[in-house]
Chains A and B, each alone.
Chain A
Amino acid sequence: MLKINNLHVSVDDGQKPILTGLSLEVPKGEVHAIMGPNGAGKSTLSYALTGRDGYEITDGTVTLDGKDLLDMEPEERAAAGVFLSFQYPLEIPGVPTMTFLKTALNAQRKARGEEEMKAPEFLKTARALAAELKMKPEMLKRPLNVGFSGGEKKRMEIFQMMMMEPSFIVMDETDSGLDVDALRIVADGVNKLRSPDRGMLIITHYQRLLDYIVPDRVHVLANGGIAASGDAEFAKKLEREGYDAYAA
């Protein structure tokens, strides 16, 4: 279970408070959606959970299965099972996708005291998953995300997610830049990862993605915290009525 309690996050060297007392619990096996107007702090939440520099935690706690995440470096959080699917996945020139993935996967395994995955097993798994996501095999040889379209980059995020089998997934605006076909492929991938052992937090501005990945709970992020919560139907109401009712 991911447990966020009274989280306060500031940016600009701690000068600008963005989240001011956010509390949220995502039990194992559940998919929760966070919706909210632009500038509400949705991306701030994803970066605070994953430990990006510049997002200063001034108060509150975050634990995953009882482990204090805020005390960990970003790579330690990854090894603990936290995966962030980026809104804008980064291009890493000069590093072939397969090399990157194998390095990352084995760094996580090493940090957990597990045996590293050998090359043949890794290749077999990667090729099978790539086929499942309808990715061209040559994409895996190219430098990570370099020259990929927006849709290809998002698919690559899902691919990495499926390779790493994290215990908690944060998806930041995964639907942006996707056409309907790509959206369906991405959603299929995510739905396959739904499991009783895994929690997910889907951050999205629009309800569209939630037609394909149906959440257990929907929360509105406004005024620095969770302003309202409901079930999957609640997302449709938000889409119809907008966020004005929750604005400051």
Chain B
Amino acid sequence: MLHKLPNRRDEAWKWSDVSRVVSDDAKGAETAAPLQIFVPEGVTVTRTDGETAANDTTLLKLVSEYAGQVWNIVVPDGLASENPIQIEGLTHGHAQISLTIGKGAKIQLVEHYDGQAGAFVNSHMNIKLGETAVLDRVIVQTDPEDCVRIATTHVTAWANSEIRQHTLAFGGKLSRLETRMAGMGDAVKATINGAYLLDGKRHCDMTSYIDLACPNGHIRQSVKGVTAGKSRGVFQGKFHVRRPAQHTDAEMRHDSIMLSDTSEIRSKPELEIYADDVACAHGNTIGALDESALFYMRQRGIPLAQARAILTEAFLGSVFDTLEDEVMRESLLDKLRGWLA
């Protein structure tokens, strides 16, 4: 790997220093990821050569160099499937995926990030959301503690399309789950929610950048996290509302609870607004579990550890309220409870 990895001197990576944790002998540092993509009927997968550009980021250059051909997933216009597209095998190495969702199509995408011990995983996905298309995206990250994961997604959303993204992440040696979205048509809708639960020395970075160029966009973002041990949670969110994007309605929230004094939470919510008739807000809280509520629960007979788990689940669980698929929501909550138990 001759390229210079992002490090703390890069503003966007100041709390997630990749150069410090990835070495040339990391598993997958110079190989393609053994991807497996499962698609419902009507959806196609092909392989094509990728393109490179001079201004590609280092991580994208690595993808071009080692991932091999691009995986192209195409959901045709109007297709509405009950069955999801599933992406597995992002266990080590590099991957490049392109997902095109045709006009009026409606589909669910489920990605499971379950890396190998000591692995470096670097994936890039480009999602094109056609007019009035709807994408329900669920990401579950359950990497081991010594795995480094960079997952970057670029979403291009055309008029009246909608993306609902729900992420459940448990971190790793370093995890960066980044979503960059460009609203290129009128009235795009997005829900970009996530929960992170970290212990030990785990790190998780949820970064997002929503760039709106057209009017009537509707964005809701709620990221919540808890940190135990010596872990580090990072949230960076930015809404960029360009001059034509009038009547944008956008809310960003990051709420976190530190379960230990030795853990760390870094947060950078940003709004950059050039349109003059918009409703945009951001909020950020970092706190501890409510001691009075804990005592109240214990007075009713609930043991301390269980009281903590109940309060934490109630706190985090709300980010999945917007997930329509009840079975999926329950399975995410089960994973969350598993961590809390």
- Expressed in whole angstroms, the Cα–Cα distance for A164 and B302 within the complex equals 13
Q: How large is the interface on A (under 10, 10 to 19, 20 to 34, 35 or more residues)?
A: 20 to 34
Contact B295 A93 (CB under 8 A): no
B89, CB-defined interface residue at 8 Å: no
Which of A75, A77, A84, A92 lies in contact with B303, CB distance below 8 A?
A75
CB within 8 Å of A: which B277-291 residues: 290-291
B317, CB-defined interface residue at 8 Å: yes
Contact A50 B296 (CB under 8 A): no
- Expressed in whole angstroms, the Cα–Cα distance for A105 and B301 within the complex equals 7
Contact B310 A103 (CB under 8 A): yes
B329, CB-defined interface residue at 8 Å: no
Which of B295, B302, B315 lies in contact with A52, CB distance below 8 A?
B295
User: What's the least CB distance linking A92 to chain B, in Å?
Assistant: 6
User: What's the least CB distance linking B173 to chain A, in Å?
Assistant: 31
User: What's the least CB distance linking B126 to chain A, in Å?
Assistant: 36
Which B residues are CB-close (under 8 A) to A111?
301, 303
Which of A73, A92, A104 lies in contact with B311, CB distance below 8 A?
A92
Contact A53 B301 (CB under 8 A): no
User: What's the least CB distance linking B323 to chain A, in Å?
Assistant: 15
Q: Mark B292-305, 1 if CB is under 8 A from A, else 0.
A: 11011111111110
Contact A93 B298 (CB under 8 A): no
Which of B296, B303, B313, B318 lies in contact with A90, CB distance below 8 A?
B296
Which A residues are CB-close (under 8 A) to B317?
94
User: What's the least CB distance linking A69 to chain B, in Å?
Assistant: 13
- Expressed in whole angstroms, the Cα–Cα distance for A90 and B291 within the complex equals 11
A107, CB-defined interface residue at 8 Å: yes
Number of A-B contacts (CB under 8 A): 71
Contact B304 A75 (CB under 8 A): yes
B327, CB-defined interface residue at 8 Å: no
A160, CB-defined interface residue at 8 Å: yes
A235, CB-defined interface residue at 8 Å: no
B44, CB-defined interface residue at 8 Å: no
Tally B residues with Cβ within 8 Å of A.
22
- Expressed in whole angstroms, the Cα–Cα distance for A50 and B297 within the complex equals 12
Residue of B nearest to A170 (CB): B299
A79, CB-defined interface residue at 8 Å: yes
User: What's the least CB distance linking A74 to chain B, in Å?
Assistant: 4
Which of B292, B298, B313, B318 lies in contact with A78, CB distance below 8 A?
B298
Contact A93 B314 (CB under 8 A): yes
- Expressed in whole angstroms, the Cα–Cα distance for A79 and B276 within the complex equals 59
Given contacts A103-B306, A107-B306, contact A95 B314 (CB under 8 A): yes
- Expressed in whole angstroms, the Cα–Cα distance for A103 and B290 within the complex equals 19
Which of B295, B304, B310 lies in contact with A95, CB distance below 8 A?
B310
- Expressed in whole angstroms, the Cα–Cα distance for A89 and B272 within the complex equals 42
Given contacts A94-B317, A95-B314, contact A75 B292 (CB under 8 A): no
User: What's the least CB distance linking A54 to chain B, in Å?
Assistant: 9
- Expressed in whole angstroms, the Cα–Cα distance for A237 and B313 within the complex equals 51
Which A residues are CB-close (under 8 A) to B306?
103, 107
User: What's the least CB distance linking A63 to chain B, in Å?
Assistant: 19
- Expressed in whole angstroms, the Cα–Cα distance for A103 and B293 within the complex equals 15
A174, CB-defined interface residue at 8 Å: no
Enumerate 7 A-B pairs (CB-CB under 8 Å) in ascending A order: A74-B295, A75-B303, A90-B292, A90-B296, A103-B310, A107-B306, A143-B314
